[in-house]
Amino acid sequence: MSSVRISEGISKTILYLAVILSGIVFVFPFFWMILCSFKFNKDILSVPLRFFPPEWNWDSYIRVFTAYPDFNFPRYILNSFIVTILAVVLCLFFSATSGYGFAKYRFKGNNLLFTVVLATIMIPFQAIIVPLFIFIRQIGLANTYAGLIIPESLTAFGVFMMRQFFYSIPDDFIESARIDGANEYAIFVRIGLPTATTALLALTIFHAQWVWNLLIWPLIVISTPEKVVLAQGIALFKGGYNTPYPEQLAAGVIACLPLVILYLFLSKYFVQGITMTGLKG
């Protein structure tokens, strides 16, 4: 018995060591980013490299908002919030409704249509940027929030995930509700959606981080300063001759915060959500 205890003790130590080491490695770049945002420009890439700032640059975060009158970071943050929230809500809507439809109803073309939807995952975004932009322009949505939100709300992964989830819900509740005379949409809203909450929360994190960080589409669609999103703002921050690295990193840290906070709130639902979708098999 005691030999088991000892080997368990050793295993535990090794395990904790491995986990702690991994944790450090994974968090380090973020930590380094924060640290460098408190350095002065000349110290970030100085030779020899100093770990801690030789002098602490407490102004970088303030300067992000005050020293660059052409970069309206509060506005960019607001835009990112608007676009992300609406795109995620729209995504949940599409995924939940179509996932439910594919999973719970047997109709002609079910499998075929689903395969078509799924195939869209394989369409590289770069491939459709130009035709999509021209189309968006034609319907008058260039340089608008809608022009950002609608394309960014479409992901076949969400449809796939929700379909998997709804498959795993037994039909009994639904049948009995039907017998009670409820119409299909009421059933969806009152029975389907509530049970799907955790899966929807998981999908929220997944999609929110994609939309929030997406750079390439806003770069093409938006050119008026008032609709620029945060990812764009940071990328735009590169000056022609010199990039203000501390301020760019500070803006980067600020950009990471909302998602980190969102994740901290929803993290416990994430694993649950994936489990419940039966995604893993």
- The residues in 11-70 that bind another protein, with binding defined as CB under 8 A, are 11-12, 15-16, 18-19, 22-23, 25-27, 29-30, 32-33, 36, 41-42, 44-49, 68-70
Site for another protein in 114-173 (CB under 8 A): 116-135, 137, 140-147, 149-151, 153-154, 156-157, 159-160, 164
Q: What region, left, alpha or beta, does residue 100 occupy, with left being phi > 0 and alpha being psi -120 to 50 degrees?
A: alpha
* b/e per residue 213-246 (b: at least 16 CB within 10 A): ebeebbbebbeeeebbbbbbbbeebeeeeeebbb
The Cα 3–Cα 33 span in angstroms is 45
CB of 193 to another protein, least distance (A): 9
Nearer to another protein, 56 or 265 (CB): 265
Task: Confirm if 88 and 204 have CB atoms less than 8 A apart.
Answer: yes
The Cα 29–Cα 26 span in angstroms is 7
10 binds another protein (CB under 8 A): no
Q: H/E element holding 168?
A: none
Site for another protein in 186-215 (CB under 8 A): 186, 188-190, 205-206, 209, 212-213, 215
First to last CA, the chain: 37
Site for another protein in 94-113 (CB under 8 A): 94-95, 97-98, 100-102, 104-108, 110-111, 113
Nearer to another protein, 58 or 146 (CB): 146
Nearer to another protein, 74 or 105 (CB): 105
